[in-house]
Amino acid sequence: MPLSALREVEHEITVSAPAAAVYRLIADVANWPAIFPPAIFVDHVERSERNERIRIWATANGEPKNWTSHRTLDESTRRIGFRQEVSAPPVAAMGGTWIIEELPAGTSRIRLLHDYRAIDDDPASLEWIDRAVDRNSRSELAALKKTIEFAHAARDLTFSFEDTVHIDGAAKDVYDFVNEADRWSERLPHVAQVHLAEPSPGLQTLRMETRAKDGSTHTTESHRVCFPHRKIAYKQVTLPALMALHTGLWTFEDTARGVAATSRHTVVINTDAIVTVLGPDADAARAKEYVRGALGTNSRATLRHAKEYAEAKR
């Protein structure tokens, strides 16, 4: 195909929020896994006041991918330019701009522009990218609109917590236990079945069946991003009924006592499932308590077994 195979597309959406607030939300990449369904994890590589390099892990057409982008931020014009430095096949080049425009009555228009090219200008690959960009752009804009317009409600239904276990062992051994999730059905009593796929080093898809205290089981699927031997970030894409969102982070920090292993969770409660799961008298507070108990119990159990594993290695 000729060089004209460069594709330029635009998506837009109108939201009931001031442009300045919208800009701030998009500018802070730490928000992305919570507000953009395709985003799994975002990490800063370099940053200054107006320029930054970020590494992004996200799904494209359901497949986990990762790439590095350079961003230029201009708060005065509310424009954020982005350009992938290292694209994931079949993408040869990808860039674009977020533009947030002020509209009357405290509303704003979000425009998301993309330009991209496929490797060798392959028509089939370009069609695949077309679908991925269109799906992700629509998903991102719809999620952003929902996040902004229901910010207060989301704040009431969103909570984070963490559990830490101190281990007299090496960070590598603790990390290995959590990283080797394909062995969890042998090592963890609350895991009934597990399937782990790792299409590229450090990028995993984990599907498992977990037992609850009452003996019931539920199936979850997560995409995980692994950083030996420091941390493992994940985002659940198949969720239990009570959760509308669940992201997490395992961290392994060397201390004077050995290793501080921490499991962190951020959850958004699915209010539509509260009565079905917990009964007619349950409310959001009860749902938070239930989810905190279930996730915390499993996390602490995993960390206790990781502790036994690592300390036996000494």
Q: Read off the pLDDT of residues 292-307 as tens digits, 9 standing for 90 and up.
A: 999 999 999 999 999 9
- Residue 93 CA to residue 35 CA, distance in Å, equals 25
Q: Which among 304, 290, 292 is positioned nearest to 214, based on CA atoms?
A: 290
User: Does one domain contain both 230 and 285?
Assistant: yes
User: Does one domain contain both 143 and 162?
Assistant: no
| Domain end call among 92, 118, 149 | 149
Structure confidence at residue 2 as a pLDDT band (50, 70, 90) = very low
Supply the pLDDT for residue 308. Answer: 97
Q: Tell me: the pLDDT tens digits for 16-70?
A: 988 998 899 899 998 888 888 889 999 999 999 899 999 999 988 778 888 889 9
Checking phi first, is residue 65 left (phi over 0); if not, alpha (psi -120 to 50) or beta? beta
Q: Is the pLDDT of residue 3 over 50?
A: no
pTM: 0.81
| Domain end call among 149, 171, 191 | 149
- Which CA distances in Å does 222 have to 208, 217, 290? 9, 16, 21
Domain, as residue range, for 189: 155-312
| Domain end call among 129, 149, 169 | 149
User: Does one domain contain both 269 and 163?
Assistant: yes
User: Does one domain contain both 145 and 168?
Assistant: no
User: Does one domain contain both 254 and 287?
Assistant: yes
User: Does one domain contain both 299 and 159?
Assistant: yes
User: Does one domain contain both 257 and 240?
Assistant: yes
CA 97 to chain centre: 22
CATH number at residue 70: 3.30.530.20
Q: Tell me: the pLDDT tens digits for 203-216?
A: 999 999 988 777 78
User: Does one domain contain both 103 and 200?
Assistant: no
- The values of phi and psi at residue 109, to 5°, are -110, 130
Tell the residue number behind the tokens 């939300």, with chain if given.
25
User: Does one domain contain both 99 and 37?
Assistant: yes
